[in-house]
Amino acid sequence: MIRVPILIGEHWLHPEVEQTGPVHNPATAEVIGRAPLCGAAEVDQAVAEAQRAFASWGSTPPPKRARVLFRYRELLEAHFEEISRLIATENGKTLDEARGDLRRGVEVVEFACGIAHLAKGEHLSRLAEEVDGMTMREPLGVCAGITPFNFPAMVPMWMYPLSIACGNTFVLKPSEKVPLTANRLAELFLEAGLPPGVLNVVHGSREVVDALCTHPGVRAISFVGSSPVARHVYTTACQQGKRVQSAGGAKNVLVVLPDADPEPTIRAVMGSAFGCAGQRCMAGSLLMGVGKAADPLREQMLAAMDKLQLGDPLADPRTGMGPVIDGRARDRLFGAIAEAPGEGLEVARDGRQGIPEKGFFVGPTLLDRTEAQHRVFKEELFGPVLALLRPASLEEAITSFNQLPYGNAATLFTESGTAARHFALQIKCGMVGINLGVPAPMALFAFSGWDQSFYGDLHVQGTEGVMFYTRQKTVLSRWAGGFRHFF
């Protein structure tokens, strides 16, 4: 049983707390560790250490900061398989999915290695007579990141590498369900030469989150998780005058036109709906077969779903889909499947059947005849439950998706450039895919959700991330009198 420590400065500590939370191996349901559920006292300590470290890290030249990131990248590569196994162990995703989780995170480190260029300001000589203008971007101070369970490496790494590269110091509050990966990632950063206190890790749940959102020493909050908590974090931290980027949940659509190439389309839809057991904020959870596309789509999907092998990703390398995160998630999904027929839906494939005995498994599920009034259309279920809709036209598909309160992602499968262009222009969401299942921007672009999928202005990643983690100073200089020879 692992006793999970927190990181304050250079010390890995076991704080005296009233409660701890279980860390599961979701594939076996075994409790493999316990994480402390910290509170305001540990947040105070972490913020104090981060403030102390900011005094020198904030003024360290960006190329020197980048050198630490270059070394960190090498260590992450050297430990790539070990970390991937840790992700698979505590999250339950397959090893390939765990590798993808870490790879996307390493890409952010690679992006952040360019900080000396990314954080450069602008300059204009002769803004007025004898006056020159320039801007510089300065770090904010102590920033905090609060992350969900579904990407134990990638989502924390959307935040702390870039924030730290910008000269900030950081307090990370990972999901209490997957604390082990975050600790290992922090340990390797220290090994790369990061000065103590620049990155701190505090485990816990609501108490830690609320303490970070209200702490006067924290200048900015990055949050990723479900929409109700994203909204709570956004309103609480904004009221305290902090910068906030707060990404929430999603209901993403995969629209298939009759002209779509069947084989790559089915592969992409399967990956989108059932990759990571449907626990991605970019997972397609609504499948729309337009007109004649619907019947063959249903048959091809059912055939592919039958071939998907469920199991323990670490015990069997052939595993195509792992478990969901815990018993609560499984019961919530079972409940939604059980309710479906009463609402008039047809359970074309029931994920409660044929699942491994141990572990938190839900098999791939298809709910046919879904319409806009149904719960599965409106609510994020966050699991391998796919709703099939049958709109008569592309226009009808776009209109029904556009009523949803979320605005994360939508994809169209087609051979028609005209249809693709129309879709990209008319669909209301921040990330659009054409012929790909998961249109997740990689480190170079912002992760640009809209509406209830994102509260704030500047998104995570890319140059928006650099802007979020720095503030701009404008300097105007007048050197009057013309040029004189001094020498």
Rg (CA), the chain: 24
Q: Which of 35, 68, 113, 224 binds ligand NAD (CB under 6 A)?
A: 224
Q: Which is nearer to ligand NAD, 184 or 232 (CB)?
A: 232
Q: Which of 209, 362, 398, 409 binds ligand NAD (CB under 6 A)?
A: 209
Contact present, 64 and 296 (Cβ < 8 Å): no
Which residues does 360 contact at the CB level (< 8 Å), separation at least 6? 24, 26, 27, 29, 92, 323, 324, 325, 326, 327, 329, 330
* Structural tokens at position 266: 């089915």
Find, among 441, 436, 437, the residue nearest to 464 by Cα: 441
Binding span for ligand NAD by CB under 6 A among 62-70, 86-94, 102-110, 201-209: 201-209
Q: Which of 226, 300, 400, 435 binds ligand NAD (CB under 6 A)?
A: 226
- The secondary structure of residue 392, as a DSSP letter, is S
Catalytic residue from among 113, 166, 281, 429:
281
| 225 scored as a contact of ligand NAD (CB under 6 A) | yes
Which residues between 362 and 391 bind ligand NAD (CB under 6 A)? 380, 382
| 232 scored as a contact of ligand NAD (CB under 6 A) | yes
Q: Provide the minimum distance between the beta carbon of 408 and ligand NAD in the complex, in angstroms, as a whole number.
A: 6
Which residues between 142 and 161 bind ligand NAD (CB under 6 A)? 146-151, 155
Q: Which is nearer to ligand NAD, 119 or 467 (CB)?
A: 467
Binding span for ligand NAD by CB under 6 A among 35-43, 93-101, 242-250, 295-303: 242-250
Q: Provide the minimum distance between the beta carbon of 83 and ligand NAD in the complex, in angstroms, as a whole number.
A: 18
Contact present, 132 and 173 (Cβ < 8 Å): no
Which residues does 66 contact at the CB level (< 8 Å), separation at least 6? 112, 113, 114, 115, 116, 165
CA 190 vs. chain centroid, Å, equals: 23
Number of residues located near ligand NAD, criterion CB under 6 A: 29
Element (H, E) at 365: strand 365-368
113 is annotated as an active-site residue:
no
* Structural tokens at position 206: 């609501």
Binding span for ligand NAD by CB under 6 A among 62-70, 116-124, 246-254, 345-353: 246-254
Q: Which amino acid is at 460?
A: V
Helix/strand/coil for 107:
helix
Q: Which amino acid is at 133?
A: G
| 7 scored as a contact of ligand NAD (CB under 6 A) | no
Q: Which is nearer to ligand NAD, 171 or 419 (CB)?
A: 171
Which residues form the interface with ligand NAD (CB under 6 A)?
146-151, 155, 173, 175-176, 205-206, 209, 224-226, 229, 232, 247-250, 281, 380, 382, 408, 447, 449, 453
Give catalytic residue positions. Answer: 281
